[in-house]
Structure 1
Amino acid sequence: MSETSPVPPRQAVRNVIEGLVGRDVDFSDGEAVHAGGTSVTAVFVTDKLSTSAVAVVDLAAAARLGGALGLIPKGGVDDAIDDKELPATLRDNCYEVLNVLSSVFNVPGAPHVKLYKMYGPGDALPPDVQSLTATLGAREDVRMDISGYGPGLMSIVCQP
């Protein structure tokens, strides 16, 4: 068994998100999301607590994922994005989406992976997590557009 997780296929990520939020989600090529600032970073670890992967979503994606999961009106989600804030309800809902997203890493031949921690806007990231988010190799950078909510960016980066 490999000690690292492969980058999940876009279709698998999309299927998980669509199934969870109950809305169509279109994926296309996107630009890398930078960790820190207003972004949200999820750290996924193996059963041995070694970092396996990270997912970084910009504020728009975090708010829209949280809003779609919680059926929060689009106007409230847009207000949070305009205010550059992620209120507790949107943050908690985003956490749930990222928690379920850990399932895309759990494939035969790869270690079991779970969500270890989510860092929200303004949270300080550990140096090793910050470094992994900037890795150029094993990554997928996408623009997602959640039906009825709008676009956002997500980067998934796996430990090389």
Structure 2
Amino acid sequence: MSATPLPSALEVREVLQGLLGRDVETLTGGAMVDPGAPGGALVAEYISDQMQLAALIVMDLPMAARAGAAIALMPSTASEADVEAGEMSDVLLENAGEILNVLASLFNAEGAPHLRLNAVHAPGATIPADVAPWVMAYVARLDLECDVSGYGPGGLSLLVI
């Protein structure tokens, strides 16, 4: 069995565009998304069938809120209220969780371990001790600046552990 692949920016963009039904610009070379930064970040854990942590996706609050609003066809003002308040509403948090569940497909390739979404940690929530060190680690990672058409920009980091 080969290692879990790190998806390309093109693959991420194509999945997001298909999910959200709108253009999503993705630029490589973005900053690492830091859950400790103002506003925090949504942290998703992906585990293998052997219950091993294998990958993470980290969305800053603006990206999580904007994508969460876009997938539900909510007006962009809904996400902007969350971004300005520095916290996510339950509705946008649930919507972003659905996006993160589908993004598991980015890590699943023939011959690689099957990964699935295990947990989503809301912005500002405590990240488990076995996950926290990996979020800002220099491992195989893709740090993107994304812009959801009609909703706005945000940061997204994908990591393979």
Question: TM over 0.5: same fold?
Answer: yes
Checking the alignment, whether the CA contact within 8 Å between 1:36 and 1:123 is kept in structure 2 is no
Equivalent position to 2:145, from 140, 143, 151: 143
Residue 128 of structure 1 and its aligned partner are, at CA, apart by 2.0
1:1-160 aligned within 5 A: 1-2=1-2, 4-29=3-28, 30-36=30-36, 38-159=40-161
Distance in 2, Cα, partners of 1:134 & 1:84: 21
Checking the alignment, whether the CA contact within 8 Å between 2:41 and 2:122 is kept in structure 1 is yes
Distance in 2, Cα, partners of 1:139 & 1:48: 22
Could you report, residue by residue, the CA deviation over 1:92-115 in whole angstroms, capped at 9, with x for unpaired residues?
000000000000101012100000
Distance in 2, Cα, partners of 1:138 & 1:20: 25
AA at the equivalent of 1:64: R
Distance in 2, Cα, partners of 1:75 & 1:125: 29
Residue 137 of structure 1 and its aligned partner are, at CA, apart by 2.7
AA at the equivalent of 1:7: L
Residue 76 of structure 1 and its aligned partner are, at CA, apart by 1.6
Distance in 2, Cα, partners of 1:18 & 1:6: 21
Identity over aligned pairs, percent: 39
Q: How high is the TM-score relative to the length of structure 2?
A: 0.94
Unaligned runs of 5+ in 2: none
Checking the alignment, whether the CA contact within 8 Å between 1:63 and 1:91 is kept in structure 2 is yes
SS in 1 for 2:13: helix
Q: How high is the TM-score relative to the length of structure 1?
A: 0.95
Checking the alignment, whether the CA contact within 8 Å between 1:36 and 1:125 is kept in structure 2 is no
SS in 2 for 1:55: strand
Deviation beyond 4 Å, 4+ runs, structure 1:
none
